[in-house]
Structure 1
């Protein structure tokens, strides 16, 4: 008697470097500048029109006419132009729902150069060598790319296993292609691994409640040369992928804080009437938080934990760094030394690494049922009460 294994669909991205000829690079640069210009024209058109005349159909007609009137915009494939329109409307939707700021003009030197290829069937991907593949780019032609991961191409392609689209992205190392991949694979068995609490930080990137902290070292991330910065960013992203995969394979339940990172990195400069304090120190801290990319780490942990049959849970953030994980005593003076936690309770005297203490508190909040509510973006009423945890092993 055979038992059919449950199947689950999974979507993910895969990024590969393109090997372009100088002529191909100039063509893609032209498309990217055209996409940025189309975004700016669309934004100007949208903001100047009265509200009652704004609609998706009117915007679609406007960009179609612009591609006919301006040869500069005509170098952008029609499907890529439609992708610009779709992305622009999605940006406004994110703004209306409170997830992001309102869209604005894209500067020539401040915005990332990119081109969308929304239709996967246009790519016609083939593997020609163990290290190289070939992809068809609209109005560019056949282009080689580095083959570093098996992709659903050729006879392995069907409605459940296919590449749904791609995006061309340029950084200091050149042009890359990011494939959007959809595959169907066996649903994972429930993860039987232990539970772990994780505290994200600047000194220790990921502090675990069991003491198995994860650190990526300190590569030359602050160089002034763009290529060095791009390589450092790529190495940091690679470290995030490898570390989150290792954690998802090891632990069945991963517990993190429900942080509002956008509020944490706000400037402290204040106003002319009420200037802020320690502005330069806060700016340095904001840069460090942004470079660690905490939100991206949590996103990776979420989908990778689900991939391996585990779960990711968020708990209330307030008090985790100042509460003693041994006795539950909370006081601001326990963190006079930023790296070390010292309990000021005379009957306790617990002393440990501050990040490890916070990770133990994070895990304990989950064990006693104080879980953040994702839908509301706030914590439960009980989470505001004083917590007295037992020692976390």
Structure 2
């Protein structure tokens, strides 16, 4: 058994530092443990501050007694608090690894702050060294209690809660009414964010992606039959950071939407599967393809419009029709600038002049009609569905 009795003066110094120590521990955990990045602005920050104050406060109280108390063993209340903290962290979706990292960082920073105060107040080195050994042993006991609580919570309710989270994700993707979504979130003990962003990606890339997005991200297999990709619903994700996090993965990122309206983000991401870029190796940011997605929202209508616009070329051979179609497209998009059209098509300007002459024969005054020009640009301006 190891004992250490501190004087009332030292006790008072340490108690006066508890608030400062708690704040420093929170800041260190936020800086070094990604899963706690938003802790300072939420209730978890207050929980951590309280946990530090209670843990060290309890240790100081024990050390102030001269009855031979073993300081390596926290009291029942402290152990119960640490156990419940572990259960709460499991319910919040944070992993045991994140919890242990928070303990390591928090204990280190707490002792750094406390030791500084002791040195400033003239406490001798031998006492500080003994104190450090006992504090870290004491914190290890609390850490073990939290790990037990985390494990018990995961074993007893983890599967049930995951089922509730899966049901919530499916309801969100299905676009269920708000009251159903709110009840589903409450049952799953999932705190609704301001926004959710839908991300579609292949099954093989889900694990890696889940390690770099928020731990509160919901996952659901796409049950609509429209795609074989997995859907991630990422909460309150700054767009630049989200795109950087999933860089190098074959995924489609929808727009952020209010959490009860995330189906709109999901639907846009699904529509983006029709884009040629969706089959490439890079991330597809739907915000960069709004025009293409808008004109392809009704694929049948786009096909019909394209057929009507190209009807005057029906009598030409397939090869000639293809060349005239690409010339008409470039001519409209480049506003009739012949040299620019020639450069875009890699042909001589005289070839452009000849083809435009053929187009004028086929279309007549329609090429000057704003209504036709608008329809032709919509029909030909983007890669079209087969």
Do Structure 1 and Structure 2 share a fold, with TM-score over 0.5? Answer: no
Q: TM-score, normalised by structure 1?
A: 0.21
With a CA cutoff of 8 Å and minimum separation of 6, indicate the structure with the bigger relative contact order.
Answer: 1
CA radius of gyration, larger in: 2
Q: TM-score, normalised by structure 2?
A: 0.21
The structure in which a higher percent of residues are strand is 1
